[in-house]
Structure 1
């Protein structure tokens, strides 16, 4: 209890304050009041998993790419229809034989001046040709061991550099401070598209060397519209506006419009949807199937087809799927893809009978086998495979309500054929690690195009050179398939390339290294006050927030 004397003093003070307020003069006419400070524009994005990597040199997944696209930049980019356009290269020249590319670099591009609230080692200096030469050599260096370095194995001198016969890769050279030249060993049709992949960014040597390959992941420094501030594992990632960003809009206004981005990690899609409804997220990564019809009626919901395939991988290096094509085919005939899509996915996908998605060169609905739902055929193939009384197998999938529902629906379908599938869920990073090491006999996976060419599906995911971390998680190895996909890589005639990829796709369907499930659609959902919202050609994960704005 307060003492009596103190109570009296407080009463007198309150009365004096009130009287003083009554005697105040009104503001003078014409005198401007102090303007209120504008609220910070922080975009709050709900994502479903903790990104495994923020260092683009080692990232291979869309969860990581979603954040990386905001921090780092490549020579070229894609427009909304998937066409290559300039980014940090203003223009380029290609020789008649398609073996030499000369890139003219944008001037005035600067590395971030701070990271995690501390000054960067590079000091926010300008990017020049020397930085691109160093970055490519660092990424392609065998000691760096970037899992996507081989995407550029057509560059002259790549093999010698990988074998440490040379100190630098021969095919990348400096013309002047703002021009670089890249020479190829053979023409490669999607070369420019590969350069837009989010591994091949310009990096500041000083910061990479200061933090090392392990810690640069937690101190990522690039040239993008946003700078890294904080990463609380399994909770949030915070980015702030790059005040020295090079780009302006068509009216000369400085980009980005936003002051920052906060990625909130919420693995429960129902909770993510609830938080969006409460206004706690401005964008959510994924609208779960139960809320799809409601989301479709919202003004900032956008949906489009995606160059992507959802599949379960069979490990061809271990039992029961090793050397047992009838078993793998039995699994493919045992599922009702359209039923799954209609009931579980609200019709938001297309049935898959092969690796290539619709819209991709080499995709052909007439290629056999088509893997329709056929229980009797599946049973006959099980018997041929040596399992007349059925088989038990464990499926490993990454934690997600959506993946769980799909797995449970397929689990029920499999039982009709005598296939008993038990389910095991682990987090996304652990699943990728296990896939890299070919440790799981049967596992969930999906692939979204890194560049719009069948090479990115058939060569990357199924060629024997890429078994393990490079993308071939099943251990699939087929001599004819390897020869065809290698020939297609060097072929310059589009019609010939397409026929080659159709042959390769036919082999993949016949050998069935995957349980082909469906081809994705992609979507984005934002609050009505988020302006300039769109869904890019490669999917919502590749949306760069440079032009997004908040107008409440």
Structure 2
């Protein structure tokens, strides 16, 4: 026989099957995305190669013209080089002649100087002999002295002559060497050029190579056109398959979450009603049971079994294999043309090398022309001087000849001493003959040098430079090489493509198996419809006797900051708001979402468009009817409040926030019960945003009026808040008549109230945590809270705007000891932002391990080798526990040279100062609104979330902002988790704060309390709670599902 317990088990089994198939579809959707990406890359690559084909077609004619022109230029250059080579040979002859003439002149000049010196010595001897001849030698003595003077002057004159020849020789030698080298280079280049032209394939043959390549590529162009069309079509098909897969994931995940959460609540309420046998039965709880039965039935009837989505239909697989084969054909065509391209490239490389040689020849030619001009100028200058010297020398010779004649006359006149002077006079005449001969040879050499200069003057060398225009084959080569590289990449992509196609083909088979199991689990749940319908049809038989009011009391540590849903920023406010207000959706016992004011909805396949149907005849707690415009007004309030980030993905939200023009916001009222919302991008946690109460409709006032299970009656600040059951609540009036929240700032008061029986649920402070665990172990419930507590740096203010300083402090706090010494069993040390109970939690994170020496090292790198220079206020709330935690941090930081002063403030003042940025350091915390990773990172670390929205770090990093924005738009759960983990790692490296611990929520629940389950979002909802007493007012202890950890 069916039972609620069995129904709960079946929904749990169904949920597990949904998790399996959604994980499978998420993994497959990643592969489909990768397949689309590979096809798009392939298409882009083929398009690039097609551009090459079009380029070659258009360029071939130009290339052919350039090849013909190049051939003509090479012939002209060859002729010019041969002519130039002839001219250089002539110059070489001239330089040799110059060198020869210079050598001859030098030799004769040396002879002349030597003979002049001998005549000088002889003149001295003649003078001596003349003195010996006495009167007969007087005339000869005069001649001897004159000869000495003339010979001596000629010797000195021709020594200068030798210096002039040395100048000519120094210029002739290097000039001659350069001419020789140039002639050698020109000859070699000319020979290479002639050899190259002889071996070069004709221009027509080269063009034929090019045309053959183009014809081959044109075939590829035809293949490309076909493949292009097919890829475009198939990408669209696969995108549809991807959209179908993601839509299926969204659809069955939402439905599974709804039915799982509703079945859990149904089970709790059913147990309460069932437990009330033989006890004063509360009809309100029975009505709640009826409502939950009808909600479960309504959701079950909405679930469409549908058909298994196909990842890759067979015809699509066939088309993909065809595309692969065609791309391989293209690749083969490209590879087959490599020889032709390399052949052409080799020819052009040789021509390019020859061009460099040609350029060098004409460059040298220009240089030689300049050097010849310089040499001619120098030779002319030196010849002019030499000619002047020759002219003087000629006069000297003439004078010496005259003196020789006179010496002969003196010899003939001598009688007595003729034998004495005759030999020496003869010697003088002989030397003069030799000297005259040398001088004549010298004159002849100078004449030859002058003739050489005339021949050099007659030589004409033109400074023309013949340019060789090379066909621009580099463009062809670059495009071809690029195409080859692209196709090599394509080849790798094809291999990956094959692997993906094979995997997806296998996944098609596995998906059918998973879908069959999913359908079985779904049928297992749907089979309970008749059972649930029978329970719904049962009539109440047990009478209800009204006694006293059923009052339920919970303690809070502080007053709420606000009671308005759209303005809330703290967990205490939410504790109250969630009990008097309801949104379009609401949370189940975990972070799963169930219907709220919205009972029906449809979602577009791309996840960006929602049609929401609002329940009929909804009323506020004062009896006033809810209008559809109130729903839109609630959304507008939420967008104008500090939690706007939860709704900013609505299309037009940013424009609305700038202009306050409601028409820009894509929230459209369709009729009295329907509203349509469009999003800028698909956002997985969109329904969760509405479950946070920030967009709830309510009637404004000092005590706002909502559509929740309770109605606010009074608020005595610092003492208590009182709510009463809402008779107009659409789920049915709660079983509790009065719900009280007592403000117990002093933990002693809370403990005493619980011991005395005045508290139904006690939230103990740290002081009494161990005591209540010892005194009431069976009443204590502990559950992980989706929260993070941290030491917050103001990242805009020095010195905490320095990343190194922030990292230093992160290493300087012993988080493990902090948690062990101060929090006992109420927390888990944090290594990052996300709590361990979330799927996004990264076990690999190392965080900042306590390392004071590393802290001091980082401070030194930041320029604070002696520690930070000032004392820095540490802002905390004025509770004993907060101050103790601050003292621990102060002590740790003092050890690394960071001095802080603790500044405790009352709760509200503390929060205001944090939100406004009036601090340098503060101890803060964050409890998630939705349990989604975005609800940690966007409000805490995005630049747009400064202040009240949550970013009290005032941390701003454009790269992290962009990553957070991108993460919000990811639809695949697996990819989304991975990306959020990457963002978390970057945030930890930036160290905007020291992440201290994740709280464990401890609650003490009195015996006899039924229907309570601790919530990971740290909310206590009283609408399903019952406090059951026996007729003798004896508390009854019963099993509570709430003692188990909640899956989030």
Q: TM-score, normalised by structure 1?
A: 0.83
Q: Taking structure 1 as reference, are residues 460 and 444 closer, same or farther at Cα in structure 2, changes over 3 Å only?
A: same
1:234 to 708, 711, 718: 718
C-alpha separation in 2, matches of 1:291 and 1:469: 31
Partner of 1:135: 634
C-alpha separation in 2, matches of 1:106 and 1:464: 38
C-alpha separation in 2, matches of 1:447 and 1:259: 32
- Asked whether the equivalents of residues 584 and 595 of structure 2 are also in contact (C-alpha less than 8 Å), the reply is yes
Give the alignment of 1:3-402 within 5 angstroms: 38-113=547-622, 124-140=623-639, 145-164=640-659, 166-204=661-699, 208=700, 216=701, 218-248=702-732, 255-292=733-770, 294-295=772-773, 297-322=776-801, 324-367=802-845, 370-391=847-868, 392-402=871-881
Give the alignment of 1:481-492 within 5 angstroms: 481-492=960-971
C-alpha separation in 2, matches of 1:237 and 1:40: 17
Residues 281-334 of structure 1: CA deviation (Å, up to 9, x unaligned)? 222233425433533643332111121100011001212212x11211111111
For 1:237, what is the secondary structure of its paired residue? strand
Partner of 1:527: 1006
- Asked whether the equivalents of residues 289 and 346 of structure 1 are also in contact (C-alpha less than 8 Å), the reply is no
C-alpha separation in 2, matches of 1:477 and 1:361: 26
1:448 to 917, 927, 938: 927
- Asked whether the equivalents of residues 593 and 687 of structure 2 are also in contact (C-alpha less than 8 Å), the reply is yes
Residues 231-279 of structure 1: CA deviation (Å, up to 9, x unaligned)? 122221111221222213xxxxxx3111111211111123322221222
C-alpha separation in 2, matches of 1:343 and 1:134: 48
Q: Taking structure 1 as reference, are residues 95 and 380 closer, same or farther at Cα in structure 2, changes over 3 Å only?
A: same
Shift of 1:405: 2.4
C-alpha separation in 2, matches of 1:94 and 1:289: 50
1:474 aligns with 2:953: yes
Shift of 1:169: 4.8
2:1022 to 532, 545, 548: 545
How much is the aligned-residue C-alpha RMSD, in angstroms? 2.1
C-alpha separation in 2, matches of 1:315 and 1:130: 41
Alignment coverage as a number of residue pairs = 483
Shift of 1:424: 1.4
C-alpha separation in 1, matches of 2:1014 and 2:744: 21
Partner of 1:414: 893
C-alpha separation in 2, matches of 1:256 and 1:495: 39
Greater mean alpha carbon deviation, residues 189-198 or residues 157-166: 157-166
C-alpha separation in 2, matches of 1:280 and 1:390: 52
2:997 to 509, 512, 518: 518
Shift of 1:95: 1.0
C-alpha separation in 2, matches of 1:416 and 1:359: 34
Residues 384-435 of structure 1: CA deviation (Å, up to 9, x unaligned)? 2333333432211112222222222233333333333321111221122112
Shift of 1:373: 1.2
Answer 1 or 2: which has greater helix percent.
2
- Asked whether the equivalents of residues 287 and 525 of structure 1 are also in contact (C-alpha less than 8 Å), the reply is no
- Asked whether the equivalents of residues 637 and 695 of structure 2 are also in contact (C-alpha less than 8 Å), the reply is no
C-alpha separation in 1, matches of 2:720 and 2:739: 10
Shift of 1:280: 2.6
Shift of 1:365: 3.1
* RCO higher in structure (CA 8 A, sep ≥6): 1
C-alpha separation in 1, matches of 2:825 and 2:778: 21
C-alpha separation in 2, matches of 1:293 and 1:91: 48
For 1:547, what is the secondary structure of its paired residue? coil
Q: Which has the larger radius of gyration?
A: 2
Q: Taking structure 1 as reference, are residues 36 and 106 closer, same or farther at Cα in structure 2, changes over 3 Å only?
A: closer
Shift of 1:66: 0.5
For 1:304, what is the secondary structure of its paired residue? strand
Shift of 1:525: 1.6
C-alpha separation in 2, matches of 1:165 and 1:261: 38
Structure 2: runs of 5 or more not aligned: 1-543, 1030-1048
- Asked whether the equivalents of residues 551 and 738 of structure 2 are also in contact (C-alpha less than 8 Å), the reply is yes
Shift of 1:170: 3.5
C-alpha separation in 2, matches of 1:45 and 1:256: 16
- Asked whether the equivalents of residues 638 and 647 of structure 2 are also in contact (C-alpha less than 8 Å), the reply is no
Q: Taking structure 1 as reference, are residues 180 and 339 closer, same or farther at Cα in structure 2, changes over 3 Å only?
A: same
Shift of 1:96: 0.6
Residues 359-383 of structure 1: CA deviation (Å, up to 9, x unaligned)? 3354323245x21111221222222
- Asked whether the equivalents of residues 751 and 768 of structure 2 are also in contact (C-alpha less than 8 Å), the reply is no
For 1:347, what is the secondary structure of its paired residue? coil
Shift of 1:36: 9.4
For 1:200, what is the secondary structure of its paired residue? coil
C-alpha separation in 1, matches of 2:708 and 2:663: 27
Shift of 1:165: 6.4
- Asked whether the equivalents of residues 723 and 738 of structure 2 are also in contact (C-alpha less than 8 Å), the reply is yes
C-alpha separation in 1, matches of 2:660 and 2:931: 33
Structure 1: runs of 5 or more not aligned: 1-34, 114-123, 209-215, 249-254
C-alpha separation in 2, matches of 1:63 and 1:424: 22
C-alpha separation in 1, matches of 2:787 and 2:923: 14
Partner of 2:982: 503
